[in-house]
Amino acid sequence: MRALGPGSVSSFLKVILDVAFFALWVGVGALGLIALLAILLSFNPDLMGNITITSDEDLMQRGPYLAAGLMAAALYAGGVLVIVGELRRIFSTLTAGDPFHPDNVTRLRIIGGMLAALEIGRHVVAELSRMLIDAEIRSVDSGLNLTAWFAVLVVFVLAEVFREGARLRTEAELTI
């Protein structure tokens, strides 16, 4: 099976990325809506009517934390959405048989930057949850993730490889 062009592995992966992209949009919207509902319920627990999950006082205390956690999850999913969106665009060029399209360099840099931002955001959320909720919480891992930082470096190196490939392609097109 071919790696590039229509009917190739890259076109199959592009379809999978399209489905994931749509699912992420739905997920981000759902998380945002649930976070909004958590905020509303924390200010006015009477909106729930006769449904009692916990005491009103407990809900008012934990509601903002729940909403903040949901918003953090929505932001994280939004970052993944950006990555999948850029990967879709890259795979579109691969399906078209043009892997060294000049725009792929920028797309890879955006992916690398977003991966780094997600990893930094993970550390920030872990520390904030320790400070605000409970100093003894250890369930949120804020340790250094070497795999994530290695992935960031690999993506930036690949961006430079694609930049050089695009330059060589442009140079070859100018050759008579």
Does residue 31 lie in a domain region?
yes
Number of domains in the chain: 2
Please indicate, yes or no, whether residues 9 and 51 belong to a single structural domain of this protein: yes
Does residue 3 lie in a domain region?
yes
Please indicate, yes or no, whether residues 46 and 13 belong to a single structural domain of this protein: yes
Does residue 81 lie in a domain region?
no
Please indicate, yes or no, whether residues 121 and 165 belong to a single structural domain of this protein: yes
Question: Residue 5, exposed/middle/buried by CB under 10 A (0-12, 13-18, 19+)?
Answer: middle
Does residue 170 lie in a domain region?
yes
pLDDT > 60? residue 53: no
Tell me which of 19-23, 78-82, 134-138 is least confident: 134-138
The distance of Cα 102 from the centroid of its chain, to the nearest Å, equals: 23
Please indicate, yes or no, whether residues 46 and 106 belong to a single structural domain of this protein: no
**What residue numbers bound the domain in which 32 lies?**
1-76
Please indicate, yes or no, whether residues 114 and 53 belong to a single structural domain of this protein: no
Residues in CB range of 152: below 8 A, 6 or more apart: 112, 115, 116, 119
pLDDT > 90? residue 123: no
Please indicate, yes or no, whether residues 1 and 71 belong to a single structural domain of this protein: yes
Does residue 89 lie in a domain region?
no
- In this structure, how many other beta carbons lie within 10 angstroms of the beta carbon of residue 151? 16
Please indicate, yes or no, whether residues 111 and 68 belong to a single structural domain of this protein: no
Closest CA to 17 of 89, 70, 98: 89
**What per-residue confidence (pLDDT) applies to 70?**
82
pLDDT > 60? residue 101: yes
Please state the three-class secondary structure of 120-167 as a single string: HHHHHHHHHHHHHCCCCCCCCCCCCCHHHHHHHHHHHHHHHHHHHHHH
Please indicate, yes or no, whether residues 132 and 69 belong to a single structural domain of this protein: no
Please give the Cα distance from 93 to 88 (Å, whole number): 9
**What per-residue confidence (pLDDT) applies to 65?**
73
Please indicate, yes or no, whether residues 104 and 52 belong to a single structural domain of this protein: no
Please indicate, yes or no, whether residues 16 and 68 belong to a single structural domain of this protein: yes
76, 111, 139 - which closes a domain: 76
Does residue 130 lie in a domain region?
yes
